[in-house]
Every structure is written in structure tokens, then in C-alpha cells.
Amino acid sequence: MKLERRRSFANLLLIGPAALAIIIFMVVPLAMMAWISVQARSYGGGVHWGELTGEAWLRFLFERELDDSLTISFNYLSIIARSVWLSLITTVLSLAVGFPTAFFMATRGRRWRTLLVFMVTLPFWTNLLVRNYAWILILRDHGTINGLLLSLGIIDQPLPLLHNQFAVAVGLTYSFLPFMVLPIYSSLEKIDLRLVEAAFDLYADRWRVLRKIIVPLAVPGIVAGSILVFIPSLGSYVTPELLGGGKTLMVGNLIGHQFGAARNWPFGAALGLFLLALVLLAMTLYALRGRGPEASR
Amino acid sequence: MKKNTRMAALSFGAAALGLIAASTAALADGELRLYNWSNYFSPDLLAKFEADTGTKVTIDSYASEEDLLAKLQAGGAGYDVIFPGTTTLGVMVKEGLLEKIDVNKMENFANVLPAHQTIAGDESREYSAPYMWGTTGFTYDPAMVPGGSMAESWEAIFKPADELKGKIAMLNEMSDVWNAGAYYLGISKCTEDPAEAQQILDLLMAQKPDVKLYSNDGTIDRMVAGEVAVHMQWNGAAHRVKAKKPEAVYVYPQEGTTFWTDAMAVPKGAPNLENAKTFINWMMEPENAAAASNYTGYSNAIKGSGEFLKDDLKADPAVNTPEEFGDRLRAYEACSEKSRDLRERVWTKLKS
């Protein structure tokens, strides 16, 4: 009994620092955001502490008209929907590029593999901002791609590659691709090749082997990779700002604008919380789905 | 081993303490700490002030006025002179973040051009002196424009000729774009009327498909590389475009162009109040104001500084605003909360 109590005390001590860090760096800031989101806004930036109002949350769906009546408006929701849509596209593109890459890597010899993993992580040595600027040089009217196509005479007008949603999708895919490749690689690497051989012995063709053996075994990696790509895409700020040409906002830019030029902290905080809730909801659904089959097993 | 690290940590801490002590000692005598935008103050001028007064000057820089405001709101940061823009200056005066230094009673205040002797938010110049000012118009490249020239009107970019569609860049700056729309439509930029705000939104939405991008960065390169034919631009940037593309033209649209002012002010609790006052008075001398302009490429507000300006600045109408355009300049106005809310909603709708 005594021993047990001592052990639980030791556990508490061990968990303590981590729990404290979570409370200070996550729970407290989140509580502050929630609190700020229901304060009245101060037009000089900041809030009027203690004046409670739901104005910030009303903005998601309603707009004040000239006579101060509320009308429904989808301005902000459409920005959020666009962010989700662009993040989904990014995830699908990353998967389409990342899976073959990971497969290629996992099927090389041991020494090659180490080198390839190293090369995938290499871009992280450079700041994200710099890498996005590099894409501007590649995509712009007289940039690498258009310059090449023009000089080869394939096109006679530069293609509109930059300052649109296409450029944002390309930039996001590039930025987060390693997060897709590495988890898939790590699950592919563990595949027992004897299973593949057995499938071939049973007269499965290549396509069938891929579909029935390799992909199912890579699912944990694919799911982890998709989550790791989707979530940072949803909150991205730099890429839409630089490559999107400021014509279309993503929710990250909208939040930045509220705290910056618009000086509407409560709405910014509400948007931030909403984004977080969206991510948590998606994660929870995933976790529940993942648990389902196991429970029934 | 363990003992060693502890000793090292201890001595490091002691050294740090020593450093703090040393810096407080320095603060007490002949120091001045400036807090400014980066690349916005001439190092030579700094050296001159140090030589003239024997004061040691240091500069820290901020990237946005939000940074500046946040730092001050968090309770001074030991700076003596700051350089806020008009909007931020108004907020600071209102929130009591500035020291009342009676600029209007300073010896060199008589040098300030009449138009700058008052400013929205600090009407009698008790808190602030003008540093630099500039305008927001647009720049075009005659070679890329049909007929080789454009009308001196916002119409030229809000309702562009077919040849210019997709070759227009706008600033990604809410108030500048809103103001331009308001001037063009003849609406007050502080309007509280949603119907008028709607007109501005309609104008901007109609223009949007023809706009290549909205951006504040790289405006100079974009013009020099010929990626766009027209760029809504600040005049200092236009001056630097001309350095590489002399044929470029900066337009002061006839409906009006905003002029903005950056001020010099002293935050509450500045450690070297007297030095700060000396500095601000010193900066209002024509020769020193001119040196600042020569470095930044923007105009100052000091009478008689013209003769000390570099020739290329003097010769450039983008910087040295010609007399006849004087009535096109529109001063900053502190708009009501209702008006600012309308502006912000127009901006969000434009971008959603």
C-alpha cells in the first residue's frame, strides 16, 4: 500500500514538468484566446477588458447592415472553406507525389536509403520564406519555367503560373511534401518482402500486389502523412501571402489581418479558436474511426 | 565535470549581471536610444549627431507599427525616440503612451513647413515632430502602356485600357486602396454610409479581375523587371524604380493622393528625456533633415532643406512634389470607428 502510494507520487513528479509545460504553454494561452474572443474590441488594437460581447462570434455568419440589423453572410465561411479545399488538394497532391517517392526510397539498398532520407530532409535547412521566394523565381512571367518554354517556342505568351490558387497549391505541396514521404517510407520499409513474393507466387500481377499487399500495409504511414500535411496547410500564412498574390485569403492570413491592420483582436481570437476546433474535430473523427474496427475485433 | 558546468554557469551569470550594471551606468550619461523602421535612418547622420553633442546613439528596428505599438503598450522598452506613422501616433496620444515634449515651443520648430505644423491626433504638435512624408500614387512604364502615357487619374488603373488588363499591381494596404477608391468616386474616405462603402467595393471588385496581384513587397523589382506595366506605389519606391528605369513616370492622380507622415515622438518614461528633446530639435535643422531625406529617398518637412538635397532627389518630381500638384495632396484623417469598420469589411469582401 505504502509502496504503491510512493510510486504514484513518483509518477506525479515525473509527469509534473510535462503537465506544467502543457498548462503554461497550451492551456493558459488557449484560455486567454477564448477570453479575448468574447471581449469588446478596442479600435486602437487590444480589447476593452471586462466588456463581454458575442460580436466576434456573430461575425462568422452574420453581418451588420446599415440599419444595424443582422443579415447572413458567407464571407468568412467562404474563406475557411477555401482553406479546407486548398489543404485537401495539397494533401492529395502530396500523396500522389510522395507515395511513389517513398516506395522508390524503401526499395533501395541500405546505404542508398540513408542518403535518400537525408536528401528528403535537406530542404528544411533553408527557411520556409526563402523557399517560397524561390518558387516566385521559378513560376513568374519571365521565370525559369516560362523562360524555358518561351525560348523553346512552345508558347508565345507566358503562362499565368504565379499569383493564383495553382501557385498556392504547388507551394504548399512542395513545403509539406517531406511530411508525407517520411511516414510512408517508414511504414513501407517495414514491409516483409516475403509477402510480396508469396503474392507473386500465387499469380498476382504487379498492380494487384500493389493494391492488395503494399498499399494496405502502408495505410498507417499514408494516414499519418495526410494528417501531417493537411493540418499545417490549413493554417499556412506565408505561402498564400507570397504565391497567391494577395488576391485570395486563406484563414491564416485572415487571422493575421485581424491582429494587424484590422486591429480586431476578438475576431482574430475567435477565428483562431475556430480553426483549432476544426482540426480537433477532424482528429477526433479519425481517432474514433481508427478505434472502431479494433473494438469490434 | 558537474562542478565545472556549475562554475561555468555561475561565472556566466556573473558576467551577465556585470553587463547589465555596465549598461545602466552608460544609460545614466549621454545616451540616446532610437527605435525606428529598418533602413530608415542614415548612419552618417547618426555619427554627426554623436560628434555634435557627444551623445552615444543606438538604434533598434521594428518591422511593423503593430510591433512598435505592442511594445509600448506592454510598458516602454527603454527607448527615447520612436518614429510612428500617423495612425499609430493618434492611438499613442490617445492612450497616453507619449511624453509631452512641447515640440511647438522648440527653437527649430519655426523651420517646419506650415502644412506640417499640425497633424491629426496631435493638432498643436505637443508630442511629435515630422520626420519624413510621402505620397501614394502610381508608377507606369511608358513602353508598356498604350500610347506611351496614362491619364493623371485613378481611372487609369481602376478602369484600365484592355492592353493593361492583367498588368496592374496594387498595394496590399487596406487604407491606401480604400482611399484611392474614395478619391476617385468623390466620397469622403471617412464615410460612415454603407451605400458609399458599397460603391467603393463595387469599384474594387470590378477592377480585381484585371489586377495581377496585391503586394507591398518587391514593388521596385516588379516594375524594373517589367512584370507589370503599372504599379500603385509609394513615391520613395517610385524614385528607386527610376534609378534603374529612368523613363518610368510617377503619377499624382488629380482626384487626390494620400500623403502620409512619419513622426518623431518620445515614449512615456524615456530614460534620456533631455537628449531626446535635443535630438528632435536638432533634426529640425535644414541640413540634418536633408541628410535624412538623402538616405531614405522621402521628403522631409523642413523649410530650406532643399539646397542640401542630392541632385537626383531634387530633380525627381516623384520626391520633390511640383507646386502645381500641391492641391492634389490629401492629408490623413482619423476616421471614426464606424467608418473603419466599413473599410475593413470592404477589404475582407474584396479578398474573400
Give the pLDDT of residue A290.
Answer: 62
Average pLDDT, chain A: 86
Give the closest-approach CA distance of B91 to chain A in angstroms: 6
pLDDT for B67: 75
What residues of chain B lie within 8 A of the CB of A240, using their CB?
A: none
- What pLDDT band is residue B76 in, cutting at 50, 70 and 90? low
A66 contacts B227? CB cut-off 8 A: no
Does residue B255 surpass a pLDDT of 90?
A: yes
Indicate yes or no: CB of B337 within 8 angstroms of CB of A43.
yes
Grade residue B25 by pLDDT with cuts at 50, 70 and 90.
very low
What does the pLDDT look like over A89-138, one tens digit per residue? 999 999 999 999 999 999 888 899 999 999 999 988 888 889 999 999 99
Residue of A44, A249, A259 with shortest CB distance to B352:
A249
Q: What is the percentage of chain B residues whose pLDDT exceeds 70?
A: 91
Instruction: Spell out which residues of chain B touch residue A63, defining contact as CB-CB under 8 Å.
Output: 345
Give A43's contacts in chain B (Cβ within 8 Å).
337, 340
Q: Do B348 and A254 touch (CB under 8 A)?
A: yes
Cβ neighbors of A173 (< 8 A, separation 6 or more) are: A90, A93, A94, A97
Interface test with A, best of B196, B213, B222 (most A CBs within 10 A): B213
In terms of Cβ atoms closer than 10 Å to its own Cβ (0-12, 13-18, 19+), residue B270 is buried
Helix H or strand E segment including B45: helix B43-53
B352·A46 Cβ contact <8 A = no
Residues of chain B in contact with residue A249, where contact means CB-CB under 8 angstroms, are 348, 351-352
Measured between CA atoms, the residue of chain A closest to residue B337 is A43
Taking contacts as CB-CB distances below 8 angstroms, the residues of chain B near A140 are 227
| More reliable by pLDDT, B12 or B185 | B185
Query: Does B194 contact A78 at a Cβ distance shorter than 8 Å?
Result: no
Q: How far apart are CA A233 and CA A239, in angstroms?
A: 9
**CA nearest to B168 within chain A:** A245
All residues at 6 or more sequence positions from B123 whose CB lies less than 8 Å from its CB, including other chains: none
Taking an 8 Å cut-off on Cβ atoms, the answer to whether B337 and A261 are in contact is no
Instruction: Take residue B119 and report the three cell numbers written for it.
Output: 497633424
pLDDT at residue A1, as a whole number: 54
Strand bridging mode B31-37 / B56-62: parallel
Residues constituting chain A = 297
B135 CA: distance to closest CA in chain A (Å): 19
- A233 neighbors A158 (Cβ within 8 angstroms): no
Q: For residue A94, what pLDDT is reported?
A: 96
Percent of chain A with pLDDT over 90: 40
Per-residue pLDDT reduced to its tens digit, B105-117: 999 999 998 888 9
Pick the more confident residue, B14 or B43.
B43
Tell me the pLDDT tens digit for each residue of A7-62.
788 888 888 899 999 999 989 999 999 999 998 887 766 788 888 888 888 888 87
Cβ-Cβ contacts under 8 Å, B337 against chain A: 43
pLDDT tens digits, A275-295: 999 888 888 887 887 654 444
Please judge whether B211 and A247 are an interchain contact, meaning their C-beta atoms are less than 8 angstroms apart.
Answer: yes
Q: Are B65 and B88 in contact (CB under 8 A)?
A: yes
pLDDT tens column, B148-203: 899 999 999 999 999 999 899 999 888 899 999 999 999 999 999 989 999 999 99
Contact A43/B344, CB-based, under 8 Å? no
What is the least distance, in Å, from the CA of B74 to any CA of chain A? 11
The alpha carbon of residue B200 is apart from the nearest alpha carbon of chain A, in Å, by 15
Inter-chain touch A142–B211, beta carbons under 8 Å:
no
For residue A256, pLDDT over 90 is answered with no
Cα torsion A93, A97, A98, A100 to 10°: value is 140
| Closest by CA position to A245, among listed A148, A295, A171 | A171
Strand-pair partners of B330: B258
| Mutation target among B93, B215, B351 for the A interface, most CBs of A within 10 A | B351
Cα–Cα distance list, A273 to A29, A78, A207, A232, B156 (Å): 11, 17, 44, 15, 43
Nearest Cα residue in chain A from B69: A45
Backbone angles phi, psi at B299, to 5 degrees: -80, 150
Cell numbers 500493389: residue: A210
Residue B96 burial class via C-beta count within 10 angstroms: exposed 0-12, middle 13-18, buried 19 and up: exposed
Across the interface, which of B69, B95, B351 has its CB nearest the CB of A249? B351
pLDDT (mean) for A249-257: 88
Residues in chain A with CB shorter than 8 Å from the CB of B227 are: 140-142
Residue of B nearest to A261 (CA): B174
- Subunit contact A75:B348, Cβ cutoff 8 A: yes
d(CA B227, nearest CA chain A) in Å: 7
Q: Distance (Å) from the C-alpha of residue B329 to the closest C-alpha of chain A?
A: 23
The answer to whether the Cβ–Cβ distance between B352 and A44 falls below 8 Å is no
Round the average pLDDT of chain B to a whole number and report it.
86
Distance to chain A for B26, nearest Cα, Å: 34
Grid cell for residue B177: 486602396
Going by DSSP bridges, is the β-strand pair B168-170/B128-140 parallel, antiparallel, or unpaired? unpaired
pLDDT at B15 over 80: no
**Which region among A206-220, B39-53, B142-156, B323-337 has the lowest average model confidence (pLDDT)?**
B323-337
pLDDT of residue B26: 42
Tell me the three-class secondary structure of chain A, residue by residue: CHHHHHHHHHHHHHHHHHHHHHHHHHHHHHHHHHHHHCEEECCCCCEEEEEECCHHHHCCCEEECCCCCEEECCHHHHHHHHHHHHHHHHHHHHHHHHHHHHHHHHCCCHHHHHHHHHHHHHHHHCCHHHHHHHHHHHHCCCCHHHHHHHHCCCCCCCCCCCCCHHHHHHHHHHHHHHHHHHHHHHHHHCCCHHHHHHHHHCCCCHHHHHHHHHHHHHHHHHHHHHHHHHHHHHCCCHHHHHHCCCCCCCHHHHHHHHHCCCCCHHHHHHHHHHHHHHHHHHHHHHHHHHHHHHHHC
CB of B174 within 8 A of CB of B131? Answer: no
User: How high is the pLDDT of residue B19?
Assistant: 42
Read off the pLDDT of residues A51-97 as tens digits, 9 standing for 90 and up. 888 888 888 887 766 556 677 778 888 889 989 999 999 999 999 99
Q: Considering only alpha carbons, which residue of chain A is nearest residue B204?
A: A247
Cα–Cα distances (Å) from B137 to A274, B217, B258, B295, B319, in that order, read 39, 16, 8, 21, 12
Taking an 8 Å cut-off on Cβ atoms, the answer to whether B351 and A262 are in contact is: no
Contact state of A245 with B213 under an 8 Å Cβ cutoff: yes
Q: How far is CA A290 from CA A187, A269, A279, in A?
A: 17, 31, 16
Say yes or no for a CB contact (<8 Å) between A247 and B227: no
Partners of residue B69 in chain A, C-beta under 8 Å: 44-45
pTM for the model stands at 0.77
CB pairs under 8 A between A and B: 66
